[in-house]
Each structure stands twice: as C-alpha cells, then as structure tokens.
C-alpha cells in the first residue's frame, strides 16, 4: 500500500538568534504594498523594481524570511529549489533588500487547494456574519493543530489552503531545502493523525481561550484611547515577557498624534496555571511626529528598548511601579537632539497626564499604564545632579503643558538653557 504523501506548513523560524527583521515590501516609488497581495494564492502583477526595507534590526541574513506580515522572501539558492521542483505552483519576483546587494525574491504561491480537514484539526473557527467582516464570512478565522487531507492536494508541491493564508509544501520540497542548507525555515507536519493526545488538545483549547480573553479585554481598553490600528509592530515569540510574546500596538490619537503601546507585559505568565496580569503594567509613548515607516522610527525603537529593560530587570519594574523612574538606553539610531555626551538617550517613566488614565482594568486585576517620555540631554544632567528630588521637580515642570507626557526630539528643555 502506497503511503499517503506528507505535507508541511512552512513558516519563519523566529527563534534564530540575532536574525534580521524585514519590513513590508515597497514599490519603486517607496510606497508600501498590501501584504495580502502576495498571499492570495494567485500571480502578482507588479511594475518596476520592488524593495524590502530593514524594519527594526539588520542581523543574520536568512534564506527564508517572512517580511512585513508573512510575505516570504527567499535567497537565490532557496528560490532555485522552488523553481526546479514546483515551477507551476509559484512565482518569483526579484526584490532588493535594503543594504544587501545579493539577489532575493518574493516567493508567491499561485495555487489554492481546498483541503483543510476540520475533523482532524485540534479546532477551527470560521468568520460569522455577526463578526461584521462580510468579505471574510465563511472562511477560517483560526485553525489550531492544522491537518489537511492529502487526497485533495493532487500534484501540487506548494499551495495555500483555501480560506487560510498558510504556506504548505511537500516533503520533497522540505527535503530539498534541507539538503541545500537553507536557513530560517520552520516546518510543521500537517498530514496524518494529530500528534496531540486528547488531553493535550484540551489544554491547548483552554490556553487559547485564556489568551483570547486577555487579548479581547486589552484591545477593548486600547480602543478607548483612540483608533486602534489592526496591524502590529512585529511579534517576537521569545524573550522575558510573561507569555514570551513581544507585541507593540499603534493607536491613532487626536490631532494626528500616535500612541505606541506595549501589548503583553500584562499577559499571564505562560508557565504558570494561575491567571494574573503578569508584570502588572504596560508602557505608552505618544508622539506628534509623523513617520513614513513607523515600525522603524525612533519612537518605536525607544519604546522597544525601554520595554526590554523593564521586562528583563525586576528592580526596574519595582521602581516603575512605585512611581516616577528614569533610565538610559542605547542612543543608536536616535535623533542627535536626544543624545547624551555618552551617546545614550534618557527617558522619564510615569509622567502623569490628563489625557491618559493611570490604570485600567483587566479580567484578573488592575494594570498600570506608564508613560514613557524622551528627555533632552540637559534634563538628564539635571536628574543626575539632583537625584530623586530631581524626578519630581522635572515632572512638575512638564505639567504646564497640556500633554506633559509627549515625546518630541525638537522642543525647549524645561531646565538649563532655553
């Protein structure tokens, strides 16, 4: 009896240390393209040369990377495997990756197969009319523990399942990519019986319900502050955050301002059974500056660096929760106006403001919303000279402003020369 063919869900290996981070593809005019254009399962028509920017970090180059939101970008040796073994299933679009002259391609899968085996998946959820997304009604909203029916795949070597954007590859493709030593690949087996026991499935379902409850509550609060952008600044599925997922959200505020917030420092601890609000805090940095690529802007980088300090050091969290707190982080990529003589940037955490609440309620407790304000070098010098008394005085001097928490690189200092 001929064994059933095996297929795999191919995705980006986010656990590669010091890896690069690629942003959303742009056209030859520098305009961002819709990520979904490359994930619909059909050929893409483009004019001019496309480009992929470095988003947050230019580290280790990978042969397979999901740029933007799940847009596959592949090296020449990876592209050759796909073009040789699946020429009728894919399209390769040459693309220039910022600061990297070697050839890269956007990998477009051009085949869609209706093959998800609902009964064998751990669980599936569909978009319903009451979700008020008519363009998605009837398609998959979530697929957990995916299993497909290989008898419905036919001769496809690379395809996307109908109703879902995952990229599936045959075992032949998987083995060929492994033979050439392609990096950045993560394969998840999607054929055959589920590898989860009934008990494991039950635990996963409970875990997902737990996460959805937390995410829904926090999203509801974010929407009280402004217009919550549906996009996210990239998730990093590792690190010292409570649920080991690092997420930053974008909220549109009045007068064209942008509020950047951490979204996960108040997650429950993933390795504990008890429900909690994690570290009991989230960070918020508001700016009135406008950026072409917000995800690689200095406010985003600053918030990310501050959140790393908060998540990795208990004494920092204790200080932040206790009241006003200052710290310095790397000034790499920051505006010169913010740099100290040592090339660092100082921030003041916890500046009170009338336009943001100091706390918000989650299902499992109260969470402190802590503002992050970038300081000028003269203000840092003032803090270093006056110590704890300087924190309160500096915060007091910011208060006459209607938005004392606002981070700007161009403003008059509230201490020293003006």
Condensed to tens digits (0 to 9), the pLDDT of residues 247-286 reads 889 999 999 999 999 999 999 998 888 999 999 999 999 9
Are 225 and 259 in contact, with CB atoms under 8 Å apart?
yes
For residues 59 and 95, the model is more confident at 95
Are 93 and 108 in contact, with CB atoms under 8 Å apart?
yes
**CA torsion angle 163 164 167 170 (round to 10):** -60
Are 67 and 73 in contact, with CB atoms under 8 Å apart?
yes
pLDDT at 417 over 80: no
pLDDT at 418: 43
pLDDT at 56: 66
Instruction: Determine the average pLDDT of the residues in 374-383.
Output: 96
C-alpha 60/C-alpha 67 separation (Å) is 14
pLDDT at 32 over 90: no
Confidence of residue 318 (pLDDT cuts 50, 70, 90): very high
For residues 418 and 145, the model is more confident at 145
For residues 332 and 234, the model is more confident at 332
Instruction: Determine the average pLDDT of the residues in 304-316.
Output: 94
SS3 78: helix
C-alpha 81/C-alpha 181 separation (Å) is 11
- pLDDT mean across residues, the chain: 91
Instruction: Report which DSSP code applies to 375.
Output: P
Confidence of residue 84 (pLDDT cuts 50, 70, 90): very high
């Amino acid at each position: 009896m001929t064994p059933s063919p095996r297929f795999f869900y191919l995705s980006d290996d986010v656990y590669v240390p010091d890896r690069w981070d690629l942003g959303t593809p742009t056209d030859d005019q520098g305009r961002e393209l819709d990520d979904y254009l490359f994930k619909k399962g059909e050929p893409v028509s483009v004019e001019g040369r496309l480009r992929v920017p470095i988003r947050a970090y230019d580290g280790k180059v990978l042969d397979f990377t999901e740029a933007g939101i799940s847009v596959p970008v592949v090296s020449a040796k990876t592209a050759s495997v796909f073009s040789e073994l699946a020429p009728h299933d894919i399209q390769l679009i040459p693309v220039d990756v910022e600061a990297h002259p070697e050839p890269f391609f956007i990998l477009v899968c051009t085949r869609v197969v209706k093959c998800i085996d609902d009964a064998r998946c751990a669980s599936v959820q569909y978009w319903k009319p009451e979700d008020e997304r008519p363009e998605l009604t009837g398609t998959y909203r979530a697929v957990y523990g995916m299993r497909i029916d290989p008898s419905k795949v036919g001769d496809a070597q690379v395809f996307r399942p109908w109703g879902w954007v995952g990229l599936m590859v045959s075992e032949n493709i998987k083995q060929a990519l492994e033979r050439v030593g392609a990096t950045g690949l993560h394969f998840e087996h999607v054929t055959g019986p589920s590898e989860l026991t009934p008990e494991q499935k039950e635990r996963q379902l409970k875990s997902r319900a737990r996460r959805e409850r937390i995410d829904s509550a926090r999203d509801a609060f974010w929407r009280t502050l402004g217009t919550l952008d549906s996009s996210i600044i990239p998730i990093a599925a590792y690190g010292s955050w409570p649920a080991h997922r690092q997420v930053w959200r974008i909220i549109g505020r009045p007068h064209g301002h942008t509020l950047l917030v951490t979204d996960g420092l108040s997650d429950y601890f993933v390795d504990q059974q008890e429900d909690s609000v994690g570290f009991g805090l989230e960070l918020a940095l508001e700016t009135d500056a406008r950026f072409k690529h917000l995800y690689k802007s200095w406010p985003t980088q600053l918030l990310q660096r501050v959140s790393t300090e908060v998540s990795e050091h208990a004494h920092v969290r204790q200080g932040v929760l206790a009241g006003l707190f200052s710290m310095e982080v790397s000034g790499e990529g920051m505006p010169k106006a913010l740099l100290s003589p040592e090339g660092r940037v100082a921030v003041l955490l916890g500046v009170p403001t009338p336009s943001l609440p100091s706390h918000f309620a989650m299902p499992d407790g109260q969470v402190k919303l802590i503002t992050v304000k970038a300081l000028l070098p003269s203000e840092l010098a003032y803090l270093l000279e006056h110590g704890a008394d300087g924190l309160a005085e500096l915060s007091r001097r910011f208060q006459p402003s209607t938005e004392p928490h606002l981070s700007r690189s161009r403003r008059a200092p509230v201490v020293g020369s003006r």
